[in-house]
Structure 1
């Protein structure tokens, strides 16, 4: 994931139309609406040099809901609809992100414990490929940093644990993502103002 990989999200207008059609612009979320959040996540991933597929996954990362946001835009039995829109690699990353059982998975990340992931939909454990893990972590960092930047209470409650998580996997994050984690969540960041 280098800056030279950034070429923008193909069919961005179609993807945003899909998100509008499925109500993302009407769902409240820290910093405004879910759609505004999804756009900011995709923009962060672009500035970090992530590929168009990872950016597209960031734009759609809440399509099936997440362990931290239970409002789904699309049922899991309609995965092929999203895959047709964003491509198979991006849809697979959206599914990986949505399926993550955070309580079981986060403590394993950055350790030697295997398997790394627990799927919250099936209860199955597995270990993603290195490429998928890096992409998952980039989307996770972009999502969490945006949420915490727009909600001081959540930043106070979850910031230290998330900083610990990202510190354990800093070598798997794009360098700019790790720097953003330090800037927003690091020990010296507690006195910096946050958006509400």
Structure 2
């Protein structure tokens, strides 16, 4: 596994500074997502996955820094666990991800790329919840105000999958207990 300087060099050499993301650069967003995960006390593999969570693009952010054919190189840089989490985050169909939250017996993601179904371990679902929350909270202040409370229902269902510090950060913004009587989003 490489050190942080090598990881940042990879992102910089792949134009992460040149790509725009939520009124900032993609590199800034990746660094901010990584910082939140570190602040929450997440292990290095999860924090590194946060640093690379959009390297393969995502359903909402189709720009890619590296093609899927570069997975072995990125795995060598991050380690297998962090690369797999970044891969899962990048290729997941969000609807299939959120479908796992109410508590399904079989945890699966559907790939937005080839419609393949990928089984998840409970720990991977928890890690993906942390990535989703860190990704969202990092960019949330820069998005249009009418979208800042989107996915309230789905985010509230992540409580059992999140660490106390990640849940506290999410609840500080959404104040779930103060809005229990609201209608869920469409």
Q: TM-score interval w.r.t. the shorter chain? A: 0.7 to 0.9
- Greater helix share, structure number: 1
Matches within 5 A, 1:1-196: 11-112=3-104, 114-151=106-143, 153=144, 156-157=146-147, 159-161=149-151, 163-186=152-175
Distance in 2 (alpha carbons) for counterparts of 1:89 and 1:106: 21
CA contact (8 A) 2:49 2:86 kept: yes
Distance in 2 (alpha carbons) for counterparts of 1:174 and 1:156: 28
CA contact (8 A) 1:58 1:94 kept: yes
Aligned residues: 178
Q: Which runs of 5+ in 2 are unaligned?
A: 180-186
* Partner SS, residue 47 of structure 2: helix
Q: What do you get for the CA RMSD once the two structures are aligned? A: 2.0
CA contact (8 A) 2:56 2:90 kept: yes
- Describe the superposition over 1:69-111 as per-residue Cα deviations: whole angstroms up to 9, x where unpaired: 0000000011011011111111011111111101333233223
Give the TM-score taking structure 2 as reference length.
Answer: 0.88
Distance in 2 (alpha carbons) for counterparts of 1:26 and 1:89: 27
Distance in 2 (alpha carbons) for counterparts of 1:103 and 1:66: 13
